[in-house]
Amino acid sequence: MSKKIFSGVQPTGNLHLGNYIGAIKNFVSLQNDPNNFCIYCVVDLHAITVKQNPFELKKNIRETAAAFIASGLDYKKSIIFNQSLVPAHAEGSWMLSCIARMGWLNRMTQFKEKAGKDKEKASVGLYIYPVLMAADILLYDATHVPVGEDQKQHLELSRDIANKFNLDFDSPNFLTPPEPLIQKNFARIMSLKDGTKKMSKSDPSELSRINLNDTSDQVLNKIKKAKTDNDPLPDNQNELSKRPEAENLLGIYSSLSDQPLNTTIKEFSGQNFSSFKEKLADLAVHKILPISKEINKLLKDENFLDNVLIEGAEKANQIASEKIKQLKKIVGF
Ligand code: AMP
Ligand code: TRP
């Protein structure tokens, strides 16, 4: 069956190994299946739901596009663009915000986490963030959305919005409820400093994550300093699941070498961390460095990156503006 894929990544700073393994690596495999039509968006409208420095934002939009391309996304095969260049996203988001219910948004755990204790001070944009995400997806009739586990609830909201719209306006199948595509393995890459915490852009410790534009010395150093425990590596998955740091590092190795976790467990069972870390560091440098070099090369050519995004936006706009036209007609404008 042919799939229409849509996904987005926020341009909010350095992309890291978690983004690569949890998201971008899958975007590339999906793109390389000729049955799929893929659209990948740098979601800059989402980024401004929290305060951004305009200069940094511009830089981060280009950097995210560069990371997409350097990781293997091909702007000739997939549509790659940034959200703010296509007005339909903001317009669709408004119309869908009149469908979504306060009660639905009040249940969103990401808002609760991001807004923290002082909800009154969170932006209204942060609150309706998931409605904008629904517009992103529904405007393109995307059937499948590759995301991390943390976005599952937002996908369910997109489905609820699509179904309610279709019902309220008696327009069955006009909006397509999307299916999430959540990887079974390695869906959560953890911090190198704490195997129980997600690897994240916002972690104050640089040693907690490997950035996609790190140098080989940085990658080697971060793996060398990664937290471990004192036992030799286990010989089965059950034992491994009780040791978060070991589980994370073996998971990273498995994903980067495209081999099942059990094969990796067999390969290193009984060995100590220092010899495993040497192998992991070699592999990580081998996989990350070409990406890092390519990102840095692409960033030198701002015109090229801007043009990829503009041309992608033209293609996206053709699809999304047509959907908005139909949406407006259905609503009664
Ligand atoms: P974010 O950086 O939170 O905007 O996330 C961009 C994409 O990367 C989303 O699909 C996330 O689910 C995914 N992602 C972010 N951090 C991780 C992580 N530590 N492990 C796996 N996937 C992640
Ligand atoms: N909310 C997603 C995240 O933080 C990013 C995103 C925005 C997205 N719009 C999307 C993901 C549409 C998939 C589809 O990771």
DSSP 228-277: --SSPPPSSHHHHTT-HHHHHHHHHHHHHTT--HHHHHHHHTT--HHHHH
Domain with CATH 1.10.240.10 in the chain: 206-297
Closest ligand to C-alpha of residue 183 is: 1
Cα 148 to ligand 1 centre (Å): 6
- Write the residue with the smallest CA distance to atom 3 of ligand 2: 9
Among residues 142, 240, 232, which one has the least CA distance to residue 185?
240
Counting runs of H as helices and runs of E as strands, what totals does the chain give?
A: 15, 5
Per-residue model confidence (pLDDT) at position 328: 98
- Band the pLDDT of 202: cuts 50, 70, 90: confident
Residue 138 host element (H or E): helix 124-138
**Average confidence (pLDDT) over 214-233:** 95
pLDDT of 38 over the 90 cut: yes
- Write the residue with the smallest CA distance to atom 12 of ligand 1: 148
- Band the pLDDT of 1: cuts 50, 70, 90: confident
Burial class for 176, CB neighbours closer than 10 Å (0-12, 13-18, 19+): middle
Alpha carbon distance 126, 86 (integer Å): 20
Per-residue model confidence (pLDDT) at position 204: 93
Alpha carbon distance 231, 248 (integer Å): 15
What fold characterizes domain 206-297?
Tyrosyl-Transfer RNA Synthetase (1.10.240)
- 4, 25, 193, 198: the active-site residue: 198
pLDDT of 168 over the 80 cut: yes
Closest ligand to C-alpha of residue 200 is: 1
Report percent pLDDT > 90 for the chain: 93
pLDDT of 247 over the 90 cut: yes
Cα 133 to ligand 2 centre (Å): 6
- Write the residue with the smallest CA distance to atom 22 of ligand 1: 22
Per-residue model confidence (pLDDT) at position 40: 98
- Write the residue with the smallest CA distance to atom 13 of ligand 2: 7
Cα 230 to ligand 2 centre (Å): 39
Per-residue model confidence (pLDDT) at position 200: 92
Alpha carbon distance 18, 252 (integer Å): 9
Using DSSP's 3-state secondary structure scheme, residue 101 falls into coil
Helix intervals (H) in 148-198: 152-168
Domain with CATH 3.40.50.620 in the chain: 3-188+302-331
With beta carbons less than 8 A apart as the criterion, state whether 202 and 34 touch.
Answer: no
**Average confidence (pLDDT) over 15-23:** 93
- Write the residue with the smallest CA distance to atom 15 of ligand 1: 19
Tens of pLDDT, residues 281-330: 999 999 999 999 999 999 999 999 999 999 999 999 999 999 999 999 99
Residue 11 host element (H or E): none
76 part of the active site: no
DSSP string, 206-234: GGG--BTT--HHHHHHHHHHS---SSPPP
Structure tokens at 320: 């999304």
Alpha carbon distance 78, 197 (integer Å): 33
Ligand 1 touching residue 188 (CB < 6 A): yes
**Cα-to-chain-centroid distance, residue 165:** 27
pLDDT of 66 over the 90 cut: yes
Alpha carbon distance 333, 328 (integer Å): 5
- Residue whose CB lies within 8 A of the most ligand 2 atoms, among 39, 81, 96, 151, for a mutation test: 151
Mean pLDDT across the chain: 96
pLDDT of 67 over the 80 cut: yes
Tens of pLDDT, residues 95-133: 999 999 999 999 999 999 999 988 999 999 999 999 999
- Band the pLDDT of 35: cuts 50, 70, 90: very high
Ligand 1 touching residue 189 (CB < 6 A): yes
Closest ligand to C-alpha of residue 12 is: 1
For the segment(s) 3-188+302-331, the CATH number from 3.40.50.620, 3.40.50.300, 2.40.50.100, 3.50.50.60 is 3.40.50.620
pLDDT of 87 over the 80 cut: yes
Neighbours of 53 (CB within 10 A): 9
Per-residue model confidence (pLDDT) at position 55: 97
Which residues' Cβ are closer than 6 Å to ligand 2? 6-8, 10, 43, 46, 133, 136-137, 145, 147, 151, 154
- Band the pLDDT of 169: cuts 50, 70, 90: very high
227 part of the active site: no
Alpha carbon distance 36, 30 (integer Å): 7
Closest ligand to C-alpha of residue 41 is: 2
222 part of the active site: no
Cα 291 to ligand 1 centre (Å): 18
Per-residue model confidence (pLDDT) at position 48: 97
Alpha carbon distance 262, 258 (integer Å): 12
Strand order across the 36-42 sheet: 79-82, 36-42, 3-9, 144-146, 179-181
